[in-house]
Amino acid sequence: MTNYSGPATVTTPDGATINVTAHLSTRPSNRDDWAGLLTAEDGRALLNVHEGTVRLPNGRESGFVRTAGGVPGGPIQVAGSSGARLL
């Protein structure tokens, strides 16, 4: 299992960019599948985000879907799959 904790950027389907802190881990069954938490610097920025793309500082990116969360100021739980391995 590989983990990442640190800064990232979320791009929404409408093109908005949101700075976030990401806490992500690959899933044990498939290293291309990953899940974790995204917390926005602006606590309300992720409130209505249900899918998007997360980009790490190393340039790797992957699409995601929201799986839980959405309290103003709180993190959202997300999951994704990346053939190029996000983490």
**Domain membership of residue 54 as a residue range:** 3-81
Residue 41 included in any domain? yes
* Number of domains composing the chain: 1
Residue 87 included in any domain? no
- Domain CATH code at residue 65: 2.40.10
pLDDT digits (tens, 9 = 90+) for 2-29: 899 999 999 999 999 999 999 999 977 7
DSSP E strands: which ranges in 1-87? Answer: 3-11, 17-27, 30-40, 51-55, 61-69, 76-81
Assigned token pair, 43: 């606590």
What 3-state class would DSSP assign to 77? Answer: strand
Per-residue pLDDT, 70: 76
Does the predicted TM-score (pTM) go above 0.85? yes
Residue 86 included in any domain? no
